[in-house]
Amino acid sequence: MSCGDIPDGLATEEQGEALMPRRVKVQRFDKSKCQKCRTSKSMYIIRNVTYCKSCFESSLFTRLQRTLHPAMRSTTLTPSEMKNKSLASIGGNRPLPQDGSVLIGLSGGSSSIALTDILVSKEYIGKGDKRVVDRTKGEKQPVWNKGYIIHVDFSDVIEGSNKEEDRSGVLKNWIEDKEHGLGWIGLKGQDVYDVNLRNKIRRIIGIPELDDGEEKESLAIDLKNPDLPLFPDAPSSSSSTPLDRLRSILSTLPAASRPSFLSSILDSLTTTTSQIIPDLSHVLLAETSTRQAQRLISGTALGKGYTLPLDLSVIHKSSAPNGRDIIRLKPTKDISLKEVTIYTHLKGLNGLVRNARNWDNAGPQNRKGDSRGKGNTRSLESLTEQFIASLAVTHPATVSTINRTGDKLRFTGEKKESQVECPVCQLPVDPNALEWKSRTALTSLPTKALPSKDISTDGEGRESLATMLCYACLTTFTPPTVVSKASRTEVVPVQLPYWVGGNVRDRRREMKEEVKEFLIDQDDE
């Protein structure tokens, strides 16, 4: 079809109007140049936008600020009000000093290393000397007076061909080389079986030890019995080491439950440390958007739906012993794993980074009855990681869509003061968890009688941990195959970590307090 093209310069005005207007030339961007500054050579492409090194760094920092700043004290706006405001209107590019210290969880993965590096390089963390800054020399007012780094090492319980060495030394050297006065708190997973844990942390921080007045006895549990009966354990003078006790409970737990248990240990150690550090203001956990999406899906698969909104929340407040609120924050929530990995590469930190947790290999390997899933995975968490990673290839919006869904969930429980907490994960207990489980998966029939000879010494009449746990922890501890009482032979209880025993004792005390006026004989415990 001829378009009646007339050579340029020869068209008259009338002819110009009769022609189809010449199409405006679209300026296609040059992928070799950074799309932000349009001058430097582009180095990275994130979501179809090209960045040079410095624009990438500043874009990453801006996104970090958007999550970090709303959680700072001295602002009256709520996080949802903050969301749509520009940084300038929030209060400038730097938050006000928080008059407290900060605790950063450092796992040794890209995101925690990147977060620490950024906060230190932007002078957000002071050296603890409260000295006056000289702005004329370009110094900046720190946001926190002092920073502490907590690293928990689990290498002693990771076995098999993927066994990792303890990386605490390497990471500690990096932190102390920074000369920023960051306090290093290096712990091990088995420290939850150390009766003197709190004083150990005080020694590390450099504050005086205290007598916490806690009982030194712990509790043991029979994990083969679905009722999870509790036994009083021998006092801590027993000859087994904390590592032996951790290995003992890991070998008794099903392989699929071990990562959840290790995760509870990590949370407990972080919480205990946060209650000991003086004047702690914020706890920062460097969870990326990728990890967040994995936690939502794996949390759903673990039955954690009730407390997921609390677990996933960017900002979560808890009380410290001194009465002040501690704010737990996930500043890297909107940053993907790919971006933090690029950052650590850019800064030459890749030698420090180890992204794989390897918790699938915790405890003894290849035990009879352990199931192995796709890709040789042994836990729901690692299966979920693989699944999200593979789905993100064909459906790139997967991670952001999952996170948007998670943002819209809310916690339906009661106010904190009246909420009963799970002794293991210390999150609210879902109502009627045990009853729901029993109703949906019957393990006995009301019409069938139990055999006349019953083993009565394997937990009958003992307190049951199963009645106190939240649904997810109940699933973690419940044996995978329900074995009838008649076929259970030897009862071998394993020791529970001290924090669980402590919470069970507190719960018992609370329950006794509620009913004490109705008790006739007050038995001494």
Q: Which residues bind another protein (CB under 8 A)?
A: 254, 256, 296-297, 299-306, 308, 371-374, 377-380, 383, 387, 391, 398, 401-402, 404-406, 408-410, 412, 430, 436-437, 439-445, 447-448, 450-451, 471-472, 475, 478, 480-484, 486
Least Å from the CB of residue 77 to another protein: 17
- CB 388, min distance to another protein, A: 9
Q: 432 or 467, CB closer to another protein?
A: 432
Q: How far is the CB of 438 from another protein (least distance, A)?
A: 10
Least Å distance between CB 249 and another protein? Answer: 18
Half-sphere exposure of 101 (CA within 13 A, CB side): 23
The one-letter amino acid at 272: T
Tokens of 432: 């009627």
Q: Please report how close the Cβ of residue 412 comes to another protein at its closest, in angstroms.
A: 5
Q: Which is nearer to another protein, 342 or 380 (CB)?
A: 380
Residue 246 near residue 194 (C-beta atoms within 8 A): no
Q: What's the closest the beta carbon of residue 252 comes to another protein, in angstroms?
A: 16
Cβ-based nearer residue to another protein, 366 or 443: 443
Identity of the residue, 101 or 398, whose beta carbon is nearer to another protein in the bound complex? 398
Distance CA 363, CA 385 (A): 20
DSSP per-residue letters across 94-154: SPPP-SSEEEEE--SSHHHHHHHHHHHHTT-B-BSS-PPP-GGGT----SBSEEEEEEEE-
Closest CB to another protein among residues 256, 494:
256
Q: How many residues does the chain have?
A: 525
Closer to another protein by Cβ: residue 300 or 426: 300
Which CB, 159 or 370, lies closer to another protein?
370
CB 481 to another protein: min, Å: 4
Three-state DSSP class for 519? coil
- Pick the closest to residue 161 from 358, 333, 380 (CA basis): 358
Which tokens sit at 102?
A: 């900060």
Distance CA 494, CA 498 (A): 12
Q: Which residues lie across from 7 on neighbouring strands? A: none
CA angle 409, 414, 419 (to 5 degrees): 115
Of the candidates 342, 334, 283, the residue with the CA atom closest to the CA atom of residue 110 = 342
Pick left, alpha or beta for residue 238 (phi over 0 → left; psi -120 to 50 → alpha; otherwise beta): beta
Please report how close the Cβ of residue 372 comes to another protein at its closest, in angstroms: 8
* Distance of closest approach, residue 361 Cβ to another protein, in angstroms: 15
Show the tokens assigned to 230: 């509790």
For helices 197-205 and 258-276, the axis angle rounded to 10 degrees is 50
